[in-house]
Structures are given as C-alpha cells and as structure tokens.
Structure 1
C-alpha cells in the first residue's frame, strides 16, 4: 500500500536557476510536492546547459539537469512579456511556495519581490536565495558557491596548506548544502502557516551558509582567535590527525581526537607496540611536539601495506579513520547504498542517482523520474490553473508562453 508523502498537495513554483534554489525544490518534490519549473521560452533554464561547463565531467547524459529537475513539470512563460507575467500571477494565486534566486535587481524589474507577490496570495511561502544576503553593500553582487560560499567565508583560504595557493571548490559543492538550509526554512514556514494560517517570506544566502559551514574558525575569528595556516603534511599539528599514503598508492585519513585513549590501540594495530612506551611519545604534548618525527614513522608503517589491509586492521581496533576515496570509487560504495545516499531511479537515462541527505521513517521519497522537456507541461498546468483553451492559445500565439514537444 502506498503511503501519502508529507508534502502531497503542496504546489511549489520553481522560478529559479542554477543551483541551490532548484536543488531545494527537488527535495520538496522528492517528498510529494508538485514542483512547477517556470522557464523562459526558447532558452529554458540555463541549468540545462551546465553539463557543457569546463569543470563538469563529460557524459552523453545531461546529468546536472536530470538531477536538479527530476520529477518537476516545466512551464515556459516569458516573464518579460506582460501576458506571460500575468499568467505567472495566476499560478502564484494557487501556489503554496515560490522559490527564486534571481538577482534582486532582476526581481524588481520582473515584479518578483516578496512585496510584489504577497498581495496575490496571503498563504504563500516566498523562499529567497541570494549570494550575499538581501541587505548591505554587496546585496546586488552576483554570487556563486565558489565566490560567496567558499571564497568570502574564508573556507577557501583555510583549506590550504601553508605556502600553497587558496584551495579550490568543486562544482555546486556549496550550493547543495545551501539547498538544505532553504528546505529547512521552507518547512519551518509551512509549519508556521499551519499554526497561523498566514504565509511569510524566508531567505538564506550562500555567504551565510559558507560562514555556518566554517563555523569553528569563523566564530573563533569573531573573538580574535586565529590559527596559522595548516602546516605541511610532513609536520602536522598532530600526527594522529593526518593523511597517510599506503603501499598501493592510496591515501587514508587518520583522525584520533582522544589521543591518550587511542594511541595504545593504534600502536598495537600497526604492529609497533613498542611505540606505546617510547618516551618520545609518552603523552599528547610529547606527540604534538614531535609530530614530524612521529609522522615519518607512521609514513613508513602505512607504506608497508595496502589500503584494504590497513582498513581491516584499523577498523578491528575501533580507530577513527577513512579511506580517501577517489570519485571513481563512489559508484561501488556499498555503504553509501546501505545508507540510502545512492538510490535506484525511475529514469532510464540515469538508473542510479543521489537521494536527499536525510530519511523519513514511513515515507520513502518518490523515485527520481526524468527531468521535463522545456515547456512540456505548459498547457497542462495552465488548464489546471483555470485558463481556457482560448486563453492558452492566445498566450502561445503572442509568444508569452510556449509548449514543448516532450523530453
């Protein structure tokens, strides 16, 4: 027997583009919401073309679009056209959530600010995503996760080793984390609406999420507390929280925060029990003071075995570590499947995909279906919204709307 999903009956208008805001709408759709993707006729959402960006792995499958538009319905409306913008107003009157990340000046020109749309529907949840926030000197500055989330928050600087250039981020890495903040805000607003009967506006920014992600160092900075940049791996702050290369050329991350408890177990697990009583490494301060010396010893030890051997031994000793997977390893990670992070889809082009990073007992998310063709559902959605056949025909004739031919 199928179980009704928690957001069944909720209509979400996704009036956004790459990547955090559409990803938030995806998660709402996973749990039952009817997500209507509003796109520009002819061009569509620029996210449809992201697979061509140089930093994206190349595939015959347009996987960024398939992932960020799964299970959505596409409506092609020209919001610069008076009739197209008026059609959106009618959709807003019947909607529950409007998600947008258009730049603030664009929203003003398109009359897509909260103040513009709230009078149309007093139960509407207006969900806003910006690069740097909605107030302040940089409110109108364009921001991507690489610039607002990673660079501005200090993450890109603090992730590097001393003497090296700032670290780089991967495509949409901060966007997907930020998407979950927007989902949380929308859910809180829907709960608020249940209690009060009134809609509201919620917002988040890539900058705010980058700072939250970098919360330990950012909060320390607010108190004037700083660490020098990370020293090179060969002379770490702690040899027991460091990277080691194994004999087969793989790497593992060792992370032993309770050093005095875990040090004896490590010595036995690596076959060097004599280190446990070595005066040079008798306690945490001694090990920290001689971190380079201890790292050299551990380098030689870990180079003597394979990653699989060390994983077995460290796991048996109940020590905190992880193999540093190559991205090619992800597809075969049985634990990621068991954890529900990698799931089967209902999309023949993309048989497996990533699930939203949480589970809800008793309500499995909808299988990920194919992303829509541009304007594939324009006529269907307009009919549901109360447009007559003549009105739809006129919208099409005038170029204010467009219908697609399917995927």
Structure 2
C-alpha cells in the first residue's frame, strides 16, 4: 500500500493562466493538494493554443492544457461581480496557498495584491509569477518565456553561432522552470507558516529565473575572455562542443575539465598525438590561440566516423556524451520510459504519451492522473461546498456570472 501523498490536506487556490504558475500548482495537485483553478468566463488562454503547437483543436484532447492542469478542480466565474468576488474570498479563507500570475497593476486594481490580502488572511502563503519582477521600471510589462526568459535575460542573444540566426525557441521551457522555482519557494513558506502562523509572499520572475539558470556564464562574462555570440572555433573548451558525424548526426561532448579528460578522449578517438601536440597538450597551451585549430581537428575526426562508431568508442572509454536526439526520438527513448518520464493516457481518439513531472517520491509512488477540468466543470460542486444554495447558484448562472458544466 502506497503512503499518503505529501501534500494531502493542503488547499490551493490558483488564479492564473498559461503555464508558469499553473505548472507549480499542477505539482501540488499531483502530490495530493486540493487545487481549485479559478478561470474567467472565457477560460484560460492555454485552452486555445492548438494551432501554434501542431496538435488538434479538440477540447477533449488538449495535451497542453492537461500537462499544466491535471488533477485540479475548475471554478469559472466573473470576479468583477460582487457575489463571485466574495466566493473567492471565502475560498481564500479556507486556503493554505494562493497562486497567481496576474500582473501587479491588475492585482492591485482588484484588491488581490499581497498587501490587500495579508491582513485578511494572515496565514496565507501568496505565490506570484511575473515576467520581470514586482519592482523596477518594467514590472508592469507583459512577460512570456520567449521574451522575458529567453530574449531579455540573454539566452537568445548569446547562444547562437555568430553569422547565423538565433535558435528556434522551445515553448513553455522557461515557464516550467519558473514554475518549479515558485513551487520550491512556496513550500518553504508553507512550512514556515505552519510553524509560525504567519504567511508570506513568494515571488518569481521569468527574467530572474533565466538569469539564475545561466548564472555560470553570466558571471564569467565579467572577465572579458569570451564575448557572445561566438563561432564554434572560439569556444574556450572544444571538449564541451557538439560535432557532426559521417552520417549527419550531432554528438554533444561534456568533458568540462580539459586537462583531466584530454588523455582519455584522445585515446578513445585513436588520436594519441593530440596529447603530445604542444598546441593542444594542456588548457594553457590550447587557449594561447589554438582552440579553433583543435576544434577543427576534432571535427575532422568525427566526420570520419559514424554515429554508432563514435558512440561505441566514447561509451567504452566511459566519457560523458550524448547523441543530439529530436523530440520524436525522445518519445521512444528506453531510458526515459524506464525512469517514468512518460505515461500513456487514452483519449477519445486513441492513446497519447504525456510527460510527467521529474520529481518522484519513493514511498508515495507515481501520482494518479485526471485530465484538466473542463471549463466550469466543478463550479457547482465548489460553490455548494462554500455553502451556496442551488437557488443562489442557479441565479448566478442565469445572470451569466458563472459557468457550470
């Protein structure tokens, strides 16, 4: 028998759209928390992004909505109406955590900012995701991962090869990293609130998360030894580069300490002469103007070998590397399946593969999976739980203030 899920008994209210904040609450829901997702009458915009993601526009098979909103309950109402706003206040009175990604000025206008709520709900943990932070000249700018995480924080402008164009972006990658940072902070605050009786505000920005994720190179750029964007021949360590094989695949090396890894790498590639070459024999010699020559030398050797041949040589030498797989290959990766990165879900059109959160619990086991709520799916259930009568709920529905389904 599996142990109880770690967050059973915790109640979370989510007032958020798209990915970053909902990915945090999805993690809470997976771990047993009761998560109530509050949506406007139009619904979370994430419900409507099929065309740009290459998947069917089918509300009954919305993998993107499900990955952020599975295991939650859905409440749909117009918070501009007093009765609906009061229902939200009643929910917050029972909640342990409130999560939002509304922009600061919108929260202040609705009296849903932290300062407006902390006196009323002193134990409440308040979690917020923004594009650019809660302070500063750009705090009210709209922020998405493509702009705040990738572009503004330096990733997009630094990590392409000079003379080409910036890379294609991965939708929601920055959002999910920010969401998991938020989840970590909120759980720390929840622990404190239960110990002290005092709530806290936890803030995460897409820009700040990206800067943290890139911290190694953002800090190191102060020394001026390398100025991005670069061409591959300018990399400080060619043993951390990506090389093309004879059959057209790319293999990424990860040998960060040049002097330690060079002898094993050279022997594995059948090029022991590199160890004695005065240009390449150690990192000081290499970085005295010879990184480009060594990159070209390694590239030429890779071009002589197939992907299978290089993989065999590097595996036998116990050197860290990986073939650069594409997404369709990842879906079939046996190691990913062996470590429960995926699960299968039957939709009305057939079986689909979905992605799991990477955090796993040994005793509690893998979480169950219920699709994200249909728009307003649990509105009546939640309102009845707050003490609303069927007559009052029907009145709100007929007035167009709520959606029930």
Q: Same fold (TM over 0.5)?
A: yes
Specify the alignment match of 2:243 in structure 1.
Answer: 244
Specify the alignment match of 2:282 in structure 1.
Answer: 283
Q: How far off its partner does 1:234 sit?
A: 4.2
Matched, 1:383 2:380: no
- Cα distance in 2 for partners of 1:94, 1:269 equals 62
Residues 320-340 of structure 1: CA deviation (Å, up to 9, x unaligned):
212111122110112222333
Specify the alignment match of 2:26 in structure 1.
Answer: 26
Q: Secondary structure at the match of 1:36?
A: strand
Matched, 1:362 2:363: yes
Long gaps (5+) in structure 2: none
Bigger drift between 172-181 and 382-391 goes to 382-391
Residues 179-214 of structure 1: CA deviation (Å, up to 9, x unaligned):
011101110111001211222221111111111112
Q: Secondary structure at the match of 2:331?
A: helix
Bigger drift between 12-21 and 336-345 goes to 336-345
For the structure 1 residues 144 and 73, does the alpha-carbon distance in structure 2 shift closer, same or farther, using more than 3 Å as the test? same
Whether the 8 Å CA contact 1:94–1:385 is kept in 2: the answer is: no
Whether the 8 Å CA contact 1:233–1:242 is kept in 2: the answer is: yes
Specify the alignment match of 2:51 in structure 1.
Answer: 52
Q: Secondary structure at the match of 1:17?
A: coil
Q: How far off its partner does 1:350 sit?
A: 5.9
- What aligned pairs does 1:247-262 form with structure 2 within 5 A after superposition? 247-262=246-261
Matched, 1:170 2:167: no
Residues 82-116 of structure 1: CA deviation (Å, up to 9, x unaligned):
22112111111111111100112221222211223
Aligned residue pair count? 400
Whether the 8 Å CA contact 1:130–1:143 is kept in 2: the answer is: yes
- What aligned pairs does 1:311-350 form with structure 2 within 5 A after superposition? 311-345=311-345
- Cα distance in 2 for partners of 1:343, 1:33 equals 21
Q: How far off its partner does 1:345 sit?
A: 4.9
- What aligned pairs does 1:2-401 form with structure 2 within 5 A after superposition? 2-41=2-41, 43-53=42-52, 56-59=53-56, 61-220=61-220, 225=224, 227-288=226-287, 289-345=289-345, 351-401=352-402
Specify the alignment match of 2:403 in structure 1.
Answer: 402
Whether the 8 Å CA contact 1:346–1:367 is kept in 2: the answer is: no
Q: How far off its partner does 1:47 sit?
A: 0.9
Give the TM-score taking structure 2 as reference length.
0.92
Residues 222-261 of structure 1: CA deviation (Å, up to 9, x unaligned):
x565621243224543322221101221101122222223
Whether the 8 Å CA contact 1:39–1:75 is kept in 2: the answer is: yes
Whether the 8 Å CA contact 2:246–2:303 is kept in 1: the answer is: yes
Bigger drift between 388-397 and 317-326 goes to 388-397
- Cα distance in 1 for partners of 2:137, 2:281 equals 54
Q: CA RMSD in A?
A: 2.1
Q: Secondary structure at the match of 1:228?
A: coil
For the structure 1 residues 190 and 19, does the alpha-carbon distance in structure 2 shift closer, same or farther, using more than 3 Å as the test? same
Q: How far off its partner does 1:387 sit?
A: 1.7
Whether the 8 Å CA contact 1:16–1:99 is kept in 2: the answer is: yes
Q: How far off its partner does 1:64 sit?
A: 0.9
Residues 40-61 of structure 1: CA deviation (Å, up to 9, x unaligned):
12x21111012223xx233464
Long gaps (5+) in structure 1: none
